[in-house]
Amino acid sequence: MLFSTYRLSKYYGSLKALNELTVEVERGTVGLLGPNGAGKSTLLRILLGLIEPSEGSYEILGNKNGRVTMDMIGYMPEHDCLPPGLTAVGFVSYFGQLSGLPYDVAMERTHRTFDYVGLGEERYREMGSYSTGMKQRVKLAQAIVHDPKVVFLDEPTNGMDPEGREEMLSLLKDLASMDKSIVLSSHLLPDVEFVCKNVVIVNNGEVVTYGKVEELLGAQTLRVKMYGNERDFVKALKEKGCKVSGTGSEFMVEGDDAVSKVWNAARDTKVQVRYMGFHSRSLEEMFIDIVEGKNGN
């Protein structure tokens, strides 16, 4: 188990940032998704031990309520947090030592980690002059230099150019292949889809859905364009147990044996089917459906 929460709540006055959030997340790569104000950052802050929950309990790597040894955790914040007067080497080796690495090991691992994240000679320069992409690489190096078991990443590709973003995502995927658990909080759904095997979707302080990305996206939908009386057609499909969304002459149809049900409904309601094809949802579409409650959740 990577982390679990049980009826975890956090109140700010009358505002409920987390509302009895309960979830059990397996080790591996997990994407934390949700619209702004959904409670992602609050959940992340509680898991990192930066704030106390108002109610409920949580566990990380089997340790209750933040008693996890901090050496096991790496954290890459979203915002700029690099002290301007330090070089990248000085900064990462310093935080490596604070995380428990002896001096010589910290120095060696700092250079290895910079090689790994792709920061060259710039590592000897003061960080005040770094580009956003370089800062993101330094922050990632800081988060992984001490070889943590789980890495929390908050919007790791924020402000990066397309090439840098691709490199960052490849690094994260590579890290995940080395038995590291990754908790990735991002509003860029393709990033989560690329890196994560599991996803937790949070909305209004509650877990809306949790599961494997593959399974959540696995249910293929049928895209149908028709001509005729759409009201009768939709009614007929629903009577046959299909889930139908969309308006006008174009519908998305979900359900067992959807193809034959569409043909039967078309025959029964005397409409023409002008297009029918399978359509795989992207995480983005699934997210929008779930958050807007369109999938029946």
Partner 1 sequence: MGIDFQKYRSWDGTHSSMIKRVAVLVKKEAFLALKSKWVIALIVLTYFLGVVTRMMSIVFMPVKFESSFFQGFFDDSQLWFILMAAVVGSGLIANDLRNKSIVLYFSCLPKSAYAAGKFGVVAGLLSIVVLMPGVLLFFMALLSSSESLANILDHIWILGAIVATGLFITALMSSVSLAISSITSDKRYAGAGIFMIFLLSDIVAGVMKDILKNDRLAMISIWNNIRMVGNQLFRMKLPYDFPWYESLLVLAAVIICSAGIIYWKIFKKEVRV
Interface with partner 1 (CB under 8 A):
41, 44-45, 48-51, 70-71, 73-75, 77-85, 94-95, 97-102, 105, 109, 112-113, 115-120, 122, 133-134, 142, 144, 146-147, 152, 154, 164, 167, 170-171, 174-175, 178
Cβ distance to partner 1 smaller for residue 142 or 209? 142
Q: Tokens 């067992």 belong to which residue?
A: 256
Q: Tell me how far, at minimum, the Cβ of 134 lies from partner 1, in Å.
A: 7
* Cβ distance to partner 1 smaller for residue 69 or 220: 69
Shortest distance in whole angstroms from residue 109 CB to partner 1? 6
Rounded distance between C-alpha atoms, residue 37 and residue 42, angstroms: 9
Least distance between partner 1 and beta carbon 41 (Å): 7
- Compute the least distance from the CB of residue 52 to partner 1, in Å: 9
**Nearer to partner 1 by C-beta: 45 or 225?**
45
Closer to partner 1 by Cβ: residue 14 or 247: 14
Rg value, the chain, Cα: 23
Whichever of 122 and 284 has its CB closer to partner 1, that residue is 122
Residue 117 and residue 74 in contact, taking contact as beta carbons nearer than 8 Å: no
Segment 131-137 long-range contacts (CB within 8 Å, at least 24 positions apart): 132/158, 132/159, 132/160, 133/159, 133/160, 133/161, 133/164, 134/88, 135/80, 135/82, 136/160, 136/164, 136/168, 137/168
Ramachandran area for residue 155 (φ above 0: left; ψ -120 to 50: alpha; else beta): left
State the minimum distance, in angstroms, from the CB of residue 240 to partner 1. 50
Least distance CB 7 / partner 1 (angstroms): 20
Across the strands, what pairs with 245?
252
Give the type of residue at 93. S
Which pair of tokens denotes residue 162? 């397309």
Tokens of 258: 């959807």
In the complex with partner 1, the residue whose CB is nearer, 169 or 265, is: 169
Q: Which is nearer to partner 1, 44 or 237 (CB)?
A: 44
Please report, for residues 48, 52, 71, the alpha-carbon distance to residue 6 in angstroms, rounded to integers and kept in the order given. 16, 14, 24
Q: What is the DSSP string of 161-219?
A: -HHHHHHHHHHHHHHHTTT-EEEEE-S-HHHHHHH-SEEEEEETTEEEEEEEHHHHHHS
Nearer residue to partner 1 within complex by CB, 10 or 281: 10
* Cα angle 185, 5, 193; round to 5: 30
**Cβ 184 to partner 1, closest distance in Å?**
15
State in angstroms the smallest separation of the CB of 241 from partner 1. Answer: 46
Q: Which residues contact 51 (CB under 8 A, 6 or more apart)?
A: 10, 42, 45
